[in-house]
Amino acid sequence: MSIIYKREKIGEGIHFTTLINKSQKLNSIFINLLTPLSMETVSENAIIPRILSDSSKDYPSMTLLNKKLYSLYGASLRGSVSKMGDSQILILSAGCINNRYTFDGEKITEELIELLTGCLISPNVSGNGFEEKDFELKKQELLDEIDAEINEKRAYAFKRANQSVYKNEPAAISVNGNKETAGKVTAVSAYEQYKKLLETAQIEICFVGEEYSENCRDLLAEAFSKIKRNYAGDAHSERSPFKTEVCRVTEDHDVAQSKMVMAFKTNYEDIVAMKLMNAVFGATPISKLFMNVREKLSLCYYCSSGINAAKGVVYVDSGVERSNVEKAEAEILNQLNAIRNGDFTDEEMENARRSIINKWKGIGDNASSIAGWYLEQIYNGRSDSPEDQIGKLMKVTRDDIISAANSLRPDTVYVLAGKEENK
């Protein structure tokens, strides 16, 4: 199914992208603010979307705002923060059912856009900071969330590994910051940073729906025309530099199962070829890692690979018994070496290719997947549709996969070590 893509400039460093897909029964709007990751501002940035999505000048409490959303047929309005390479992305998103599904043809999409832009542009402020009481609750929540990172061992191991992989780079910074940076945020410092972001950040607005809506475009353009801009330029990432020697970190934890994260770096340019290499290696249940390390040798409960394209990093993420950690590491390297040596069948290659095509073709069915796809494209200075990238994928050869695998240099092995088994 083809998706119609249209990107319009509606302000200095502010773009409005429309993605039309006839199958959508929902209208979704994503407002992304892209800014460099930095220890100075990371926790302010993490707290801002939490505050903006919970109240506004017109709806000064979360109860009032939520009642309004319920009246719009259970529309959603969410604030979140994520990372792409060396950049931090603040996201305010909203979604509701298409107007024609309402009982009386109410224009709920337009109402929702006004509500969303109201949250972004006219927050609930007192004095020269965010409203103090709500701010304190959000700050405590952020601190609790940072504390709670240890609860999810797989994600925690991944976060700790990243601190070694991207040592001294912005990408090493956790999306929420740490206890120290979060502890320093005040209602005033967060509000100051918020104002600065509205002035300077790259702003990418994305609308996903069944048809192009001039109404919605105009409502958004008008709301953003009220902002005074002093644009700082597009967000971007640097490739992560190679280490002279592999960094090894082991940390003991009181858990039953160990987690191991291995990272490899590359300066290989052809990212589509690298994605196919990754699929052959460990990104599908028919990949080398899954079939051998998990199924054949039963060394891991999960063992899969992934890519951070913006940074040029391929990683392997696994859950393994402590006594099997060394064996698993050796076997993972074995499988990578097999690809480097061309020891994979045409069938393995074509299976991997089909699996990626299947995924990319279905991206248009889901609003946040397709919005995420184009945000990544825009971030990397492209506007490839999933079909465009499938075209490129079809041209990737066996030799390209071998070169991609040979470009990988071992960088980090991180182990979150569990207890020795009792039995």
Interaction mask 140-179, another protein, x per CB under 8 A? xx--x--xxxxx-x--------------------------
* Least Cβ distance, residue 261 to another protein (angstroms): 16
| Contact (CB, 8 A) for 37 and 171 | yes
CB atoms closer than 10 angstroms to residue 157? 22
C-alpha angle 113/115/119, rounded to 5°? Answer: 115
Enter the DSSP assignment of 307: E
Under 8 Å between Cβ of 354 and 346:
no
* Alpha-carbon gap, residue 76 to 391, rounded angstroms: 35
Choice between 80 and 406, CB closer to another protein: 80
Q: How far is the CB of 102 from another protein (least distance, A)?
A: 9
Give the Cα separation of 32 and 120 in Å (integer).
11
Which two structure tokens, joined as six digits, stand for 273?
């070829």
362 touches another protein by CB under 8 A: yes
Pick the stretch among 118-126, 236-244, 310-318, 347-355 that binds another protein (CB under 8 A): 347-355
Write the CB contacts of 328 (distance below 8 Å, at least 6 apart in sequence): 260, 293, 299, 300, 303, 318, 320
Residues 391-420, one symbol each (x = binds another protein by CB under 8 A, - = not), give: ---------------------------xx-
Q: Smaller CB distance to another protein: residue 225 or 323?
A: 323
Which range binds another protein by CB under 8 A, 180-188, 196-204, 219-227, 349-357?
349-357
Which residue in the set 15, 243, 359, 398 belongs to the binding site for another protein (CB under 8 A)? 359
Question: Which residues lie closer than 8 Å to 334 by C-beta, 6 or more apart?
Answer: none
Tell me how far, at minimum, the Cβ of 355 lies from another protein, in Å.
6
* Gap between the Cα atoms of 400 and 404, Å rounded: 6
Task: Give how far Cα 143 sits from Cα of 48, 49, 132, 155, Å.
Answer: 14, 15, 16, 17
Identify any residues that bridge with 259 across adjacent strands, giving them in sequence order: 319, 416
Spell out the residues 6+ positions from residue 145 whose beta carbon is closer than 8 angstroms to its own: 176
Q: How far is CA 252 from CA 145, 167, 257, 259, 413, in A?
A: 22, 21, 11, 11, 14
* Nearest CA among 192, 205, 322 for reference residue 253: 322
For position 249 contacting another protein by CB under 8 A, the verdict is no
C-beta closer to another protein: residue 236 or 359: 359
Q: Which residue from 4, 8, 12, 23 is in contact with another protein, where contact means CB under 8 A?
A: 23
Name the residue with tokens 């390390």: 293
- Asked if 206 contacts 32 with a C-beta cutoff of 8 angstroms, the reply is yes
| In the complex, minimum distance from the CB of residue 181 to another protein, in angstroms, rounded to a whole number | 17
Task: Choose the stretch contacting another protein; rule: CB under 8 A; options: 58-66, 195-203, 307-315, 397-405.
Answer: 58-66
Q: Which two tokens stand for residue 16?
A: 């409005």
Question: Between 200 and 366, whose beta carbon lies closer to another protein?
Answer: 366
Q: Which of 266, 292, 355, 407 is the binder for another protein (CB under 8 A)? A: 355
User: Does 232 contact another protein by CB under 8 A?
Assistant: no
Does position 323 interact with another protein (CB under 8 A)? The reply is no
Q: Pick the piece of the chain touching another protein (CB under 8 A) from 24-32, 234-242, 335-343, 373-381.
A: 24-32
Contact (CB, 8 A) for 90 and 97: no
Question: Exactly one of 38, 66, 80, 380 binds another protein (CB under 8 A); which one?
Answer: 66
Residues engaged in binding another protein (CB under 8 A): 1, 21-26, 61-63, 66-67, 69-75, 95-97, 101, 133, 137, 140-141, 144, 147-151, 153, 252-257, 284-286, 290, 295, 298, 300-301, 319, 321, 347, 351, 354-355, 357-359, 361-362, 364-366, 418-419
